[in-house]
Amino acid sequence: MTTEEFTLKLLPKKDKLFRLAVFLLKNREEAEDTVQEVYLKLWDIKERLEKYNNMEAVMMTMTRNRCLDKLKTKREKFGSLNENINNQPYTSVMEQSVQKDMVMQARRFMDRLPEQQKTIIHLRDVEGYEYEEIKEITGFDLNYIRVNLSRARKSIRTSLIKLEENELR
């Protein structure tokens, strides 16, 4: 694989890798370093990359594994992600504020999930991957993915409902 082929094939995936790394590490600089490390590793093995059917899954798996390694060695505490809400037309400032707060709360509850559930819900609901792609990235069984995604969503939904009930009292 030439430098040009490498660049054209792999660099467009950089944003997805970065979002996953930020999600897992909760640190932009650490995420940037991780993505850079993944690209260096890919460069080192560029001659062998042709044998993979789904390069995106390979790259996401490498990023995830590198992030998990960093978390294990440093025992970092998780912070909150910078929120990113698209301003929707025809919504009042009040509605946008409520929506922003709801997303922030959901992310906090998401951060409390077990690592596998957190990864699965991020890949499915934030990144938009299909179940088969999540299976390739994580190595988890499809049934395991579905069950844990359902549990993660239920946990977040239950926590949000309890929070709302407490605020109404």
> What 3-state class would DSSP assign to 2?
coil
- Reported as a pLDDT band with limits 50, 70 and 90, residue 92 is low
113 in the same domain as 54 = no
Burial class from Cβ neighbours inside 10 Å (0-12, 13-18, 19+) for residue 122 reads: buried
Record the pTM: 0.55
pLDDT at 24: 86
Q: CA 48, CA 61: separation in Å to the nearest integer?
A: 16
Domain range for 62 is 3-74
51 in the same domain as 15 = yes
pLDDT at 146: 93
Express each pLDDT in 40-91 by its tens digit: 898 888 888 788 888 888 889 999 889 888 877 754 333 333 334 444 455 5
Which residue among 74, 101, 128 closes a domain? 74
> Residue 80 domain-assigned?
no
146 in the same domain as 109 = yes
Question: pLDDT: is 161 or 84 the higher one?
Answer: 161
- Report yes or no: 66 and 37 within 8 Å, Cβ to Cβ: yes
Express each pLDDT in 104-145 by its tens digit: 888 889 889 999 999 999 888 888 888 988 998 899 999 999
30 in the same domain as 66 = yes
pLDDT at 56: 85
Structure tokens at 106: 């959901």
Structure tokens at 2: 């030439």
- Residue with structure tokens 């970065």? 18
Structure tokens at 40: 């260096």
Number of domains in the chain: 2
Domain with residue 35: its CATH number is 1.10.1740.10
